[in-house]
Structure 1
Amino acid sequence: MNIVLVTETYAPEINGVAMTLGRLVDGLAARGHRLTIIRPRQRHESPRFSVTQRLACRQVRLPGVPIPGYPQLRLGLPAGRRLRQLWTLNRPDLVHVATEGPLGASAITMARQLGIPVTSSFHTNFDQYTRDYRIGWMKPIVAAWLRHVHNRTLRTFAPTRDLLARLETEGYQNLRLLSRGVDSTLFNPGRRDGSLRASWGVGPEDPVVLHVGRIAAEKNYPLLFRAFDAIKAVQPRARLVLVGDGPLLSAYQRQRPDVMFTGFYTGTNLARHYASGDIYLHTSITETFGNVVTEALGSGLAVSAFDYAAAHEFIRHGENGLTAPVGDEAAFIANAVRLAREPTLRERLATQGALTARGLTWDAIVDRFLADLQEAANEFDRTRASGTQLSALSSQPSATP
C-alpha cells in the first residue's frame, strides 16, 4: 500500500506518540509498504528542504507554529491546498491521521474530497488536560472537537480496551485497538550499569526510584514527590532520578535540589537509565497508554501505578507490579513505600514484569494495524463501487410499460 501518515509530532521529537509512530512506520516499511510522513517543520529545519527521502519513508514538512508552553513542539497549520497538490500527483491508497490539530483536520477533509480512505488514531486525552492547565471550562468544547474529527474517518484507533469502551460511550464510531509493544532487545534488565548508578551517588543496595517523561502539569509530579518523601522516611538512602525535560523542569529543579534531573535521553542511553533504577512510580492518570510503564517493566523495575491505561492492561496487582485505584493517592503512596521496604517483593515483581513485557512484540501490533487498515480500505472501495453502480442505475431511463 501507498500510505500517508499525517502527524503534528514525529522523530526527532521525544514523546510517546512520536516513538509509537516511528515503530509503526518502520514496521510497515519493512513489510514493503510505501510511507509518506506529512508533519510540521521544526525550528531547526530549513524551509529550503521541505521534502526528504529517508530509508523507511518520505517526509514532507509544512509550516507550523510553536505550541504555547512547549516551544520544542510545533502545531501544524491547515494545508488543504498543498495536500490536494501532493495527492493529485501521487494518490495514496490510504491516509492515516495521528493528531487532531488543524493540519490533521484539513488532511481528513481533503482525503474525503478526493475520495481517499482515511483513518485516525486517538493518542492524547487533550480534553483531560484542560483541568491540569486550569481551563476546565473548555473541556466540553475540546471533547466535541475530538469526537467530530475522529468520526469523519473510517476507523479510530485507540491503545487500550478501557479507552475504547470510554470512547464508545462518548459517541465515537468505528473503533479499533492499536496497542503498543516493547523492544525487549533495547529495554531489558541487562542494561543495568553500576557506573551510572555510582554517578547518581547511590550504592549497590540503595533503592533508586525512577521516572521518565515530559516534566509538565499533566504528569502529576506533586504526587510523585510526596510518594518519594514517604519512601525516604523508611529508606533514607533512596534516590529519585527524573529522566526528561519540559516546561516545569526549572521550577522543580529549584524546589527539589535532592532530586537528580538528567534531561532527555533516547535509545541505549535511555535503556541504561531505566535498567539502573529499582522502582518505577507512574503517577499520571491522563495518558491514553503510557509507553514508559511497559518500558519500565521490560527493563526489570518494580512498577507501581494507578490502575489505568497500560498499567490496567498489563499489570496484575501483586504478581508483576502494584496498582492503586485511580485517584486513591493514599493507596499509591502505600504501594510505593511497600516496594521500598520489601526488596524481595521488588525482585519478584521485577522478574515477572520483564517476562510480561517480553511478550509485547511490535511485530504482532504492526501486523494487526496493517490488517485493520487494509480492511478499512477494502470497505471504502466496496462502498464506492456500490454507490457508483446505484448512481449508474438511477441515471438510466426507466422502462416504458
Structure 2
Amino acid sequence: MEISDLRIALYSGNYNFVRDGANQALNRLAGYLLDQGAAVRVYSPTTDTPAFEPTGDLISVPSVAFPGRGEYRFPTHMSSVARRDLQQFRPNVMQISSPDFVGHRMVSWARKQNIPVLASVHTRFETYPRYYNLAFLEPVIEAILRRLYRRCDAIVAPSESMAQVLREQRMNYDVGIWSRGVDREVFNPGRRDLEWRRSFGIADHEPVIGFLGRLVMEKGLDVFSDSIDELKRRNVAHRVLVIGEGPAKQWFEDRIPEAIFAGFQQGKDLGRGVGSMDMLFNPSVTETFGNVTLEAMACGIPVVAAKATGSQSLVRDGESGRLITPGAIREFADALQLYCENSNIRGEHGAAGEKRSDEFSWDQINNTVAQSYLRLIRQRELGHGPISQEAIR
C-alpha cells in the first residue's frame, strides 16, 4: 500500500474556527496528504466566521459555543448526516485530534468497522483546570483521556518530552512523534525590522522581551507579568512586546500597562513581529510542542521558557535559550536580565537556535504521520488491534 491508497477520516474539535498551532498543523497535514494523492475527509465543528479557509473537504459536526469562551465550539454529537458521510467515504484509517465526546464516538465507530485509529495529542488538557481554581479535576480528566487513548491503535505527540509524559501516564503502549515544522520563508533573522519597532516608540538599543500566542490564562500570563515586575524592581532596562489576541487581553493589559500590544499578526507580518523581538519569553506549561518557541528560534532570537513538555525538546539550556522551573519568578527574571544586559550572549544563543530550527521540515515531518497510517493498517491486516488495557497497567 502507498500513501496514495490512504483514505483518512480526520476528526478535529477545532479545524479552522480559531487559528492556533494545533489546527494549522492539522491543515498542513491534510494538504500534504492530498498532494500525495491520498483522500482526506475532515469532521469538525464549524462557524460562519472561521479564522481561515479549511484544507480539504470539511464536514460540519453539531456544536455549541463553549461557556465563557465563545470563540471555541463544543461538539455535542455525531449527527446522522456526518455518520452517513463517514460510511460513504469508507476510510481505511482514522485520526482523532480532540479527546471530546465526539472523538470517543469516532473511535467507537472505527472499532466496529475494524479500522485502525491514530490519536494525535496537541495540548495538555489535564493541566487546564489549575488555571481556573479547579485543580481537583485533573485526575478525573487524566482518567478520561487514558480510557480514550487506550482504545486507539497508537498515539503521536509533538515532542519526545510530551511522548514521555504520555508513557508515564500509561495512555498507550504505542507512542510516536509527530513533530512540528517551521516556514523559513516567514521566520528568519532577515525579518527584523527596526523601522517597525520605532513605530511603537522602541529605541534601537532597547532590548525587547516578546510574548507570542493566544491571550488566555493557561499560557502563563500570570508568570509572565510577575517576572516582568521583578525586572522592574531590579531596574533592568527593557520593553515588552505582545503579539496575539484572546479573552484575557484586558487582564494582561491591566497587568502590564507599559507593554506594547501589537495585536494579531499572521504571515510575513508575524515573521516581522517575532524577528523584531530580542528574546521570547514563553512561561506556559500546557504546550505539547511550542510552535512559538520554534518560530522564535528560526528568527535567531533566544528563548526563555518553562522547563516543560515541548520546550525541553527544542531549547538547549544555556546554548539556545534558558529552561526554567515552571513558576520560578526570580529564575525567569535572572534569565531575562542576562539577555537584556548581554547582547553578545543574546546573539550567540539566538544563532544556535536558528541552526537548530533547520532540522524541522514540514514535508519530512508530515510523512512520518503518513507512514504511521500505513504501519497501523498493516498491523490491523495481520490481526493486531489496540493493546489491551491490562497490558499497559
Indicate whether the TM-score tops 0.5: yes
Higher relative contact order structure (alpha carbons within 8 Å, sequence separation ≥ 6): 2
Distance 2:345 2:97 in 1: 39
Structure 2 counterparts to residues 77-116 of structure 1, below 5 A: 77-79=76-78, 81-116=80-115
Measured at CA, do residues 176 and 80 of structure 1 come closer, stay the same or move farther in structure 2, by a change above 3 Å?
farther
- 1:23 aligned onto 2:28: yes
Answer whether contact 1:305 1:311 (CA < 8 A) is retained: yes
How much does 1:159 deviate?
Answer: 1.6
Distance 1:238 1:136 in 2: 34
Answer whether contact 1:200 1:260 (CA < 8 A) is retained: yes
Structure 2 counterparts to residues 51-62 of structure 1, below 5 A: 56-62=55-61
Q: Which residue does the alignment assign to 1:313? A: 313
For each residue in 1:29-55, what CA deviation from the matched residue of structure 2 results, as whole angstroms up to 9, or x when unmatched? Answer: 22221211111021437xxxxxxx97x
Distance 1:358 1:27 in 2: 19
- 1:240 aligned onto 2:252: no
Q: Which residue does the alignment assign to 1:167? A: 166
How much does 1:313 deviate?
Answer: 0.8
How much does 1:230 deviate?
Answer: 3.6
Give percent identity, aligned residues only. 26
Answer whether contact 1:241 1:259 (CA < 8 A) is retained: yes
Structure 2 counterparts to residues 179-328 of structure 1, below 5 A: 179-232=179-232, 238-328=238-328
Scaled by the length of structure 1, the TM-score of the pair is 0.89
Distance 1:234 1:251 in 2: 24
For each residue in 1:212-270, what CA deviation from the matched residue of structure 2 results, as whole angstroms up to 9, or x when unmatched? Answer: 11111211112212322344456665211111122211122233321112222221111
Aligned length: 377
How much does 1:211 deviate?
Answer: 0.7
1:38 to 25, 36, 43: 43
Alignment-mate amino acid for residue 8 of structure 2: I
For each residue in 1:175-230, what CA deviation from the matched residue of structure 2 results, as whole angstroms up to 9, or x when unmatched? Answer: 11111121112111111122220122112111111111111121111221232234
Alignment-mate amino acid for residue 85 of structure 1: R
Measured at CA, do residues 137 and 281 of structure 1 come closer, stay the same or move farther in structure 2, by a change above 3 Å?
same
After superposing on structure 2, the runs of 4+ consecutive aligned residues of structure 1 that deviate more than 6 Å are: none
For each residue in 1:47-76, what CA deviation from the matched residue of structure 2 results, as whole angstroms up to 9, or x when unmatched? Answer: xxxxxx97x511112221112232111122
Alignment-mate amino acid for residue 258 of structure 1: E
Distance 1:113 1:2 in 2: 17
How much does 1:26 deviate?
Answer: 1.9
Gaps of 5+ in 1: 46-52, 386-401
Alignment-mate amino acid for residue 171 of structure 2: Y
Q: Which residue does the alignment assign to 1:346? A: 346
Distance 1:203 1:74 in 2: 42
What's the secondary structure of 2:263's corresponding residue? Answer: coil
What's the secondary structure of 1:119's corresponding residue? Answer: strand
- 1:377 aligned onto 2:377: yes
Distance 2:14 2:228 in 1: 32
Alignment-mate amino acid for residue 309 of structure 1: T
Answer whether contact 1:213 1:244 (CA < 8 A) is retained: yes
Distance 1:236 1:190 in 2: 27
Alignment-mate amino acid for residue 320 of structure 2: N
What's the secondary structure of 1:354's corresponding residue? Answer: helix
How much does 1:291 deviate?
Answer: 1.0
For each residue in 1:148-179, what CA deviation from the matched residue of structure 2 results, as whole angstroms up to 9, or x when unmatched? Answer: 11111111111222222222222222211111
How much does 1:7 deviate?
Answer: 0.2
Scaled by the length of structure 2, the TM-score of the pair is 0.90
Distance 1:384 1:170 in 2: 23
How much does 1:85 deviate?
Answer: 0.9
Distance 2:369 2:79 in 1: 26
Answer whether contact 2:59 2:82 (CA < 8 A) is retained: no
Alignment-mate amino acid for residue 352 of structure 2: Q
How much does 1:310 deviate?
Answer: 2.7
Answer whether contact 2:21 2:291 (CA < 8 A) is retained: yes
Answer whether contact 1:70 1:246 (CA < 8 A) is retained: no
